[in-house]
Amino acid sequence: MVSASDAQRIVGALEDLSEEERPEFFVKRLTDSPLYSLRVGSYRVILAISHEQCVILAVKIAHRRNAYRDL
């Protein structure tokens, strides 16, 4: 369960990322995957970025020890 303060930080980070013209420059591309990872404290937000539709989709939000499982 994500605490309220961590949730606010995650939402803030996603809002900041959504304002960037090239959001992929501010996240880490996952190896052999079309997905990206955004680090927010000890949490990772796994993202799909679509330039054609101007969409950033949070696929998964999890603590870093569990974030990359079952992708």
Domain ranges of the chain: 4-63
Contact 57, 47 (CB under 8 A): yes
Residue 70's pLDDT is 87
Beta strands in 10-51 (DSSP E): 28-29, 36-40, 43-50
Distance of CA 44 to the CA centre of its chain: 6
Contact 43, 63 (CB under 8 A): yes
The model's pTM? 0.90
d(CA 7, CA 71): 22
Q: pLDDT (tens digit, 9 = 90+) per residue, 4-56? A: 999 999 999 999 999 999 999 999 999 999 999 999 999 999 999 998 888 99
| 4-63 CATH, one of 3.30.2310.20, 3.40.640.10, 3.50.50.60, 3.40.50.920 | 3.30.2310.20
Q: Which of 12, 19, 39 is nearest to 28 (CA)?
A: 39
